[in-house]
Amino acid sequence: MENVIDVLEERGFIDNKTHEQELRDCIDAGPVTCYVGFDPTADSLHIGHLVPIMSLAHMQRCGHRPIALVGGGTGLVGDPSGKTEMRQILTPETVEKNVIALKGQLSHFIDFRDDQALLLNNADWLTRLEYIPFLRDVGRHFSVNRMLKAESYRMRLESDEGLNFIEFNYMLLQAYDFLALYDRTGCQLQMGGSDQWGNIVAGIELVRKMRQAPAFGITFRLITTASGAKMGKTAAGAVWLDANRTSPYDYYQYWINTDDQDTARFLALYTFLPMEEIRVVKELEGADLNAAKAVLAFEATAMVHGPDEALKAYQAAASVFGARDIPQNLLPHSAIPRGGADAGADDVPHSEVPAAELTDGIPLFKMLHQVGLTASGGASRRLITQGGAYVNGERVPSIDYLLTQADLRDGTILLRCGKKKFHRLIATPE
């Protein structure tokens, strides 16, 4: 079987790793248990978490056992990494609620049946630690001088707010997680974002010092778009994996709007399609490249929301933008329908409006805000003035525009803001 390190490197995951040859030999010798930690700071994961999630899925597909470690304990402390301000301290009740939600989302990517993978919560051991024994047994292995040089701490020390003592303990707690997982499951590999390098190395050294056992680390690249924007961030905020926060249609639209330069790279990172098929995408242009984006959007949506929701989103997009013809020889391992898509207008975000209100006319700027296409009436007016508002595909000429029954097309009105945001109004009988 192919070494999973080669798989992850070819697909563009890896930023750095420790003890490379020893790690490769360990993986070649037999199944390895590995883990990634997820702090429950919200009741949903988002697109920014997909790289570590996909890495665990690749580990499992290559015959290894992944652990998704939910930080019910560390979530009560807060990770200072990458932050210039202290994270909000969550209540135990909020953390527990978030933990339950994250477990369900991770199950879409990783098979936890029959202990093929483990879903653990570090609250099970961190909340039971006794402070003095912890300092004596674990704390003595950490150099304060060295900790202060870590990037995660240095940023906070240089900020106006500074670093508080509870956050200073975070590195020790994450390192202890690795030790606890080694003792409980034989885990030898920790993975995480590049901002976690210092914490991961601390855990490796703790296992090696206290257990004289091999332990390894891999960090992943920070994924940005071709424009330099952080992956998963939009003007409206994060793109969530929870359908109640980001609908399957909006999730699909995020991926369909991928920059041309990112399409092949994102197919490698965020799908399981074979690399020999993905490499071809780098040479595509025009309609074929747009078809590849549709495949990316379909596969990414199917993974999070299931194939039925992915199909609905694909059909809904076809009803708005027109059906795409997906060539049979393009990324053939994808389950996306070939030869176009049947319209699915009902899956475009929509709401009802009494036909009687259209008789009198409804100010467009008010409706844009009411259905959530803009943040306020003022934002609606600015959008219209700038030429970014459309009714049934036609640019709106004036901020005084009234929606009336004359705008109905088969009982509906299609509103659009910019190139990507749509909403369908359905007129109800008087």
Query: What digits encode the pLDDT tens for the residues 270-306?
Result: 999 999 999 999 999 999 999 999 999 999 999 999 9
- Residue 84's SS3 state is coil
Section 164-179 average pLDDT: 86
**Distances in whole angstroms, Cα of residue 6 to Cα of each of 57, 215, 234, 358:** 15, 19, 32, 61
Q: Which of 230, 279, 409, 419 is catalytic?
A: 230
Q: Which of 174, 196, 263, 374 is catalytic?
A: 174
Domain CATH number, residue 322: 1.10.240.10
Using CA atoms, how far apart are residues 111 and 114, in angstroms rounded to an integer? 9
- Residue 218's SS3 state is strand
Q: What is the DSSP annotation of 363-402?
A: EHHHHHHHTTSSSSHHHHHHHHHTT-EEETTEE---TT-E
**Most confident stretch, 8-12, 26-30, 242-246, 421-425:** 8-12
336-358: pLDDT as tens digits: 987 655 544 455 677 888 888 88
Residue 103 is among the residues annotated as catalytic for this protein: no
Do 123 and 158 sit in the same domain of this protein?
Answer: yes
Which of 96-100, 193-197, 306-310 is the least confident region?
96-100
Which residues are CB-neighbours of 358 under 8 A, at least 6 positions away? 403, 404, 405, 407, 408, 427
Residue 234 is among the residues annotated as catalytic for this protein: yes
Using CA atoms, how far apart are residues 296 and 277, in angstroms rounded to an integer? 12
Do 389 and 264 sit in the same domain of this protein?
Answer: no
Do 288 and 414 sit in the same domain of this protein?
Answer: no
Classify residue 230: in a domain, yes or no: no
Give me the pLDDT at residue 8, please.
97
Q: How many domains does the chain have?
A: 3
Do 376 and 337 sit in the same domain of this protein?
Answer: no
Do 354 and 342 sit in the same domain of this protein?
Answer: no
Do 317 and 361 sit in the same domain of this protein?
Answer: no
164: left (phi over 0), alpha (psi -120 to 50) or beta: beta
The four Cα atoms 314, 316, 321, 324 give a dihedral, to 10 degrees, of 30
CB environment 369-402: b (16+ within 10 A), e (fewer):
bbbebbeeeeebbebbeeebbbbeeeebeeeebe
Of 388 and 64, the one with more pLDDT: 64
Model confidence at 58: pLDDT above 80: yes
Q: Which of 292, 316, 346 is the last residue of a domain?
A: 346
Q: Which of 43, 137, 183, 195 is catalytic?
A: 195
Classify residue 241: in a domain, yes or no: no
Classify residue 385: in a domain, yes or no: yes
Give me the pLDDT at residue 84, please.
46
Do 332 and 354 sit in the same domain of this protein?
Answer: no
Using CA atoms, how far apart are residues 313 and 345, in angstroms rounded to an integer? 9
Band of pLDDT at residue 78, cut at 50, 70 and 90: low
Which of 68-82, 115-129, 248-262, 340-354 is the least confident region?
340-354
Model confidence at 138: pLDDT above 70: yes
Model confidence at 262: pLDDT above 50: yes
Q: Are 342 and 289 in contact (CB under 8 A)?
A: no
Give me the pLDDT at residue 45, please.
93
Residue 64 is among the residues annotated as catalytic for this protein: no
368-418: pLDDT as tens digits: 988 888 888 888 899 898 888 888 777 888 888 888 888 887 677 888 887
Classify residue 234: in a domain, yes or no: no
Q: Which of 11, 46, 312, 423 is catalytic?
A: 46
What percentage of the chain carries pLDDT values higher than 70?
Answer: 91
Residue 195 is among the residues annotated as catalytic for this protein: yes
Using CA atoms, how far apart are residues 187 and 32, in angstroms rounded to an integer? 7
Using CA atoms, how far apart are residues 222 and 231, in angstroms rounded to an integer? 8
Do 40 and 126 sit in the same domain of this protein?
Answer: yes
Q: Which two tokens stand for residue 370?
A: 């009411």
Q: Which of 346, 376, 410 is the last residue of a domain?
A: 346
Domain CATH number, residue 403: 3.10.290.10
Give me the pLDDT at residue 410, please.
67
Band of pLDDT at residue 2, cut at 50, 70 and 90: confident
Section 257-281 average pLDDT: 96
Q: Which of 94, 185, 225, 234 is catalytic?
A: 234
Do 296 and 312 sit in the same domain of this protein?
Answer: yes
Residue 19 is among the residues annotated as catalytic for this protein: no
Q: Across the chain, what does the average pLDDT equal?
A: 87
Residue 233 is among the residues annotated as catalytic for this protein: yes
What is the extent of the structural domain holding 357? 349-428
Section 326-338 average pLDDT: 90
Give me the pLDDT at residue 315, please.
86
For helices 263-270 and 50-61, the axis angle rounded to 10 degrees is 60
Q: Which of 170, 202, 220 is the last residue of a domain?
A: 220
Domain CATH number, residue 186: 3.40.50.620
Model confidence at 126: pLDDT above 50: yes
Q: Which of 11, 18, 39, 49 is catalytic?
A: 49
Section 48-68 average pLDDT: 96
Do 289 and 210 sit in the same domain of this protein?
Answer: no
Q: Which of 19, 24, 58, 87 is catalytic?
A: 87
Q: Which of 83, 97, 108, 366 is catalytic?
A: 83
Residue 97 is among the residues annotated as catalytic for this protein: no
Using CA atoms, how far apart are residues 320 and 308, in angstroms rounded to an integer? 19
Classify residue 297: in a domain, yes or no: yes
Section 32-36 average pLDDT: 98
Q: Which of 58, 184, 221, 233 is catalytic?
A: 233
220-231: pLDDT as tens digits: 999 988 888 878
Give me the pLDDT at residue 83, please.
47
Q: Are 6 and 210 in contact (CB under 8 A)?
A: no
Do 205 and 283 sit in the same domain of this protein?
Answer: no
Classify residue 35: in a domain, yes or no: yes
Do 191 and 269 sit in the same domain of this protein?
Answer: no
| Residues listed for the chain | 430
Residue 149 is among the residues annotated as catalytic for this protein: no
**Closest among 29, 76, 46, 40 to 246, alpha carbons compared:** 46
Q: What is the DSSP annotation of 272-340?
A: ---HHHHHHHTT--HHHHHHHHHHHHHHHHHHHH-HHHHHHHHHHHHHHH------TTSSTT--SPSS-
